[in-house]
């Protein structure tokens, strides 16, 4: 797996860590850290966003092992977004299209492996005794849904829209969705969802079993805080045990993630000019959201 050039922040500076595309906050009442996609950040996963997410992981691991963690107890990790109407719109489609046109398989593989480096850490809760929560607001498409799936629980606001539309350009979600949806839904239902290319409402996704909780619009943050506070230490320990049991009996290995993302690279290398033109239209949509 590609080793990203990690730059972990100093434990002594917690929680005042700074990242180019992410806000980072600590809530003492719920003993939670929040990794929030900045409103000014690209609406897709730029390579810088992947670097920042990896740095959050490495920073938290160092912090947890340090003496400073005694002053800031940590139970929960929340991933959220400040961009109106957007959680994340998936991968960097402009880069994908350029790499495909230039037959630059190495650059496409480098990006894909960086995604897997990030997803792998999320699926294991950074190897820390914490519970993780995705708070989805707006659109979580492609890699946006894959990242949300990598956390222990998903809470989505009512108007959130979630899906993996890659089939529209004859590809598939190659950075974790196959593994993660199969574990949540079973293979047959996961394949049906992926093959449909549909974008689902939060209520549809909770009925399917992809989303765990639905919050009223603009109440996601408040509901997430309330959820983390429920039941105190006893509820937290139960959730921690449950998520540890999931990882024990349904592990997602780096080898599995890498093998599937390598299949994704090979699939992308063979898409047609028609597929690329459709990808170009999606690139334009990503650019409008970035404006």
Backbone angles phi, psi at 83, to 5 degrees: -80, 120
In a domain, 3, yes or no: no
**Cα–Cα distance, 137 to 85 (Å, whole number):** 7
User: How many domains, in total, are found in the chain?
Assistant: 1
Q: What was the pLDDT predicted at 2?
A: 63
In a domain, 136, yes or no: yes
4 confidence band (pLDDT: 50, 70, 90): confident
Residues 6-33, mean pLDDT to the nearest whole number? 97
DSSP 66: S
pLDDT in tens, 120-144: 999 999 999 999 999 999 999 999 9
Contact 183, 252 (CB under 8 A): yes
pLDDT in tens, 34-73: 999 999 999 999 999 999 999 999 999 999 999 999 999 9
The region that residue 158 occupies, defined by phi over 0 for left and psi between -120 and 50 for alpha, beta otherwise, is alpha
Residues 134-159, mean pLDDT to the nearest whole number? 97
- Overall residue count recorded for the chain in this entry: 291
In a domain, 228, yes or no: no
- 3 state DSSP class of 119: helix
The pTM of this model reads: 0.95
Q: Where are the beta strands (DSSP E) in 38-180?
A: 76-81, 86-88, 131-136, 139-141, 153-157, 161-163
Backbone angles phi, psi at 219, to 5 degrees: -115, 10
In a domain, 76, yes or no: yes
Whether pLDDT at 287 is above 80:
no
In a domain, 277, yes or no: yes
In a domain, 225, yes or no: no
Which residue in the block uniquely carries the two structure tokens 């409103």?
39
Contact 56, 7 (CB under 8 A): no
Host domain of residue 68? 11-220+236-290
Residues 20-34, mean pLDDT to the nearest whole number? 98
Residue 12: how many CA atoms within 13 Å on its side-chain side? 0
Mean pLDDT of the residues in the chain: 94
Q: What was the pLDDT predicted at 58?
A: 97
In a domain, 255, yes or no: yes
Work out the percent of the chain whose per-residue pLDDT is above 90.
87
Residues 19-30, mean pLDDT to the nearest whole number? 98
CATH number for the domain harbouring residue 120: 3.90.226.10
Whether pLDDT at 291 is above 80:
no
Mean pLDDT lowest among 151-160, 236-245, 263-272, 274-283: 274-283
Q: Where are the beta strands (DSSP E) in the chain?
A: 22-27, 32-37, 76-81, 86-88, 131-136, 139-141, 153-157, 161-163, 199-201, 213-215
In a domain, 25, yes or no: yes
Which has more pLDDT, 289 or 255? 255
DSSP 87: E
Whether pLDDT at 176 is above 80:
yes
Identify the helix (H) or strand (E) that includes residue 111.
Answer: helix 105-123
């Amino acid at each position: 797996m590609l080793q990203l050039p990690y730059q972990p922040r100093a434990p002594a500076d917690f929680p005042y860590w700074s990242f180019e595309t992410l806000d980072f906050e600590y809530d003492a009442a719920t003993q939670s850290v929040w990794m929030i996609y900045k409103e000014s950040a690209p609406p897709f996963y730029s390579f810088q966003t992947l670097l920042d997410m990896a740095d959050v992981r490495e920073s938290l691991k160092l912090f947890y092992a340090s003496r400073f963690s005694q002053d800031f107890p940590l139970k929960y990790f929340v991933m959220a977004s400040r961009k109106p109407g957007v959680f994340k719109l998936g991968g960097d489609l402009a880069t994908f299209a350029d790499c495909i046109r230039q037959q630059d398989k190495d650059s496409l593989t480098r990006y894909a492996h960086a995604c897997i480096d990030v997803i792998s850490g999320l699926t294991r809760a950074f190897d820390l005794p914490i519970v993780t929560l995705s708070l989805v607001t707006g659109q979580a498409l492609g890699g946006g849904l894959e990242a949300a799936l990598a956390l222990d629980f998903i809470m989505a606001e009512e108007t959130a829209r979630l899906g993996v539309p890659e089939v529209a350009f004859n590809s598939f979600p190659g950075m974790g969705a196959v593994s993660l949806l199969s574990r949540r839904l079973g293979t047959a239902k996961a394949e049906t969802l992926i093959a449909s290319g549909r974008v689902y409402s939060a209520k549809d996704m909770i009925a399917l079993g992809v989303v765990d909780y639905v919050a009223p619009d603009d109440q996601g943050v408040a509901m997430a805080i309330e959820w983390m506070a429920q039941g105190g230490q006893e509820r937290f320990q139960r959730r921690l045990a449950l998520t540890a049991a999931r990882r024990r009996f349904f592990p997602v290995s780096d080898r599995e993630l890498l093998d599937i993302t390598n299949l994704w690279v090979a699939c992308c290398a063979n898409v047609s000019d028609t597929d690329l033109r459709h990808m170009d239209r999606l690139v334009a949509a990503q650019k409008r959201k970035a404006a």
